[in-house]
Homo-oligomer: A and B are copies of this chain.
Amino acid sequence: MGIYMDNAATTAQKPADVAEAMTKILQGEYGNPSRGAHGYSLAGFRVAEEAREQVKKLFQADQRYEAAFTNNATVALNEVLKGLIQAGDHVITTDWEHNSVLRPLYQLEKQGASFDVISSEAVTGRLNYGEFVEYLRPETKAVICNHASNVTGNLLDLEWVKDFCEKHQLYLIIDASQTAGVVPIDLSDGKISAVCFTGHKSLYGPQGTGGVCLRKNLPIEPVLTGGDGMQSFSKVQPKELPTLLEAGTLNIPGLAGLTASIQWLQAKEARPELGEYFYQGLEEIAGLTIYGDFTGARVDVFSINIKDAESAIVSDLLWEEFSIATRPGYHCAPLMHNALGTADRGTVRISFSSFTTKAEVDEVLAALRNLALR
């Protein structure tokens, strides 16, 4: 169809193993896990448990952690934030957050919680880490941070935030939607309370998968409740993880696909570094504004604008004239655009995957050069 550069929204190309693993479930003899002791049910249960083990291994999670599955990162973030934060609690978050964090926080604010937002710099989007301590209050309970901005590609200084949270005894929730599978996340020091992730982006799994890898001892009240197949006479959702956060039937074919994709990720060869190459190419194009911080660690998500053009017009031209799929607008991250200075027109977002080639990157640069001359 063209050149797909919208991998921060979803990776369109998946390893072949994913569809194969899912087909195996759908054409095989797999029942509903935890809903019977027969072989079909156990086969389904084993698929879920294998995915759990893969996720825990990926995040180097030890026995203090459990993985619970949802249908996407948004639901996981809702479950963790709304389950953990009560009226009266205070939360520190950042300009980088997606609406999957901000909208739950606005809802919690209506219910009597409060939050402050760490600001970031114009154009570079660099986070002002000094503000963390300024916003600290006796009632501060948690920090929720995007591990990498889905607008700029800037990576959080996770070690700094971990130490801050440890020092002040705050729960630390990480939104790894842009990083799981591409930036290592190491839970082995126990400092992160919960990592919310999606399966369908840089983990290369199917849509319909995601979840949270979290400390078992978090005082979470379930947002979603239902059958668990075990404690039918209990009026409340069982307190045990993962059941506490997994109301209703799991996406077993999806989890088989996720296991396959994580295994593929771990076995694949490192791909040539294209981000720095692309950035250098962008810098040579007159008339481009490049957003983000290119002095530190980052993921391959780039936001640009061309002269004073609307991002939607540039993105449409890229698709119509060059068959290059990018995403214009605000990327569900309004505060980031207030900070960058792009609240009026958004940005054109270009995001790579493991399948992105140098030839494709060259074509994107050529198209941008063409458009910048108009």
- State the Cβ distance, A236 to closest chain B Cβ, in Å: 7
Whether A10 is near chain B, meaning CB under 8 Å from some CB there, is: yes
Question: How many angstroms from the CA of A364 to the CA of B100 in the assembled complex?
Answer: 49
Question: How many angstroms from the CA of A226 to the CA of B22 in the assembled complex?
Answer: 27
Whether A56 is near chain B, meaning CB under 8 Å from some CB there, is: no
Q: How many residues of A contact B (CB 8 A)?
A: 89
B331 in contact with A232 (CB, 8 Å): yes
How many identical subunits does the complex contain?
2
Whether A319 is near chain B, meaning CB under 8 Å from some CB there, is: yes
Whether A369 is near chain B, meaning CB under 8 Å from some CB there, is: no
Whether A72 is near chain B, meaning CB under 8 Å from some CB there, is: yes
Question: How many angstroms from the CA of A1 to the CA of B220 in the assembled complex?
Answer: 39
A10 in contact with B23 (CB, 8 Å): no
- State the Cβ distance, A313 to closest chain B Cβ, in Å: 11
Q: Inside 8 A of A71's CB, which chain B residues have their CB?
A: 70-71, 75, 208, 248, 251
- State the Cβ distance, A48 to closest chain B Cβ, in Å: 10
Whether A310 is near chain B, meaning CB under 8 Å from some CB there, is: no
Q: Which of B9, B38, B98, B312 contacts A6, CB < 8 Å?
A: B38
Question: How many angstroms from the CA of A44 to the CA of B207 in the assembled complex?
Answer: 11
A99 in contact with B227 (CB, 8 Å): yes
- Against B, the Cβ 8 Å flags (1 = close, 0 = not) of A59-94 are 000000000001111110110000000000000000
B73 in contact with A38 (CB, 8 Å): no
Within 8 A of B (CB), among A18-48: 18-19, 22-23, 26-27, 29-32, 35-41, 43-44
Q: Inside 8 A of A23's CB, which chain B residues have their CB?
A: 19, 22-23
- Against B, the Cβ 8 Å flags (1 = close, 0 = not) of A158-195 are 00000000000000000000000000000000000000
A9 and B29 in contact (CB under 8 A), knowing A103-B237, A253-B22? no
A254 in contact with B251 (CB, 8 Å): yes
> Chain A residues in contact with chain B, CB under 8 A?
1-2, 4, 6, 9-10, 12, 14, 16, 18-19, 22-23, 26-27, 29-32, 35-41, 43-44, 70-75, 77-78, 98-100, 102-104, 106-107, 198, 200, 206-210, 223-229, 232-233, 235-237, 247-254, 257, 312, 315-316, 319, 323, 325-334, 337, 343
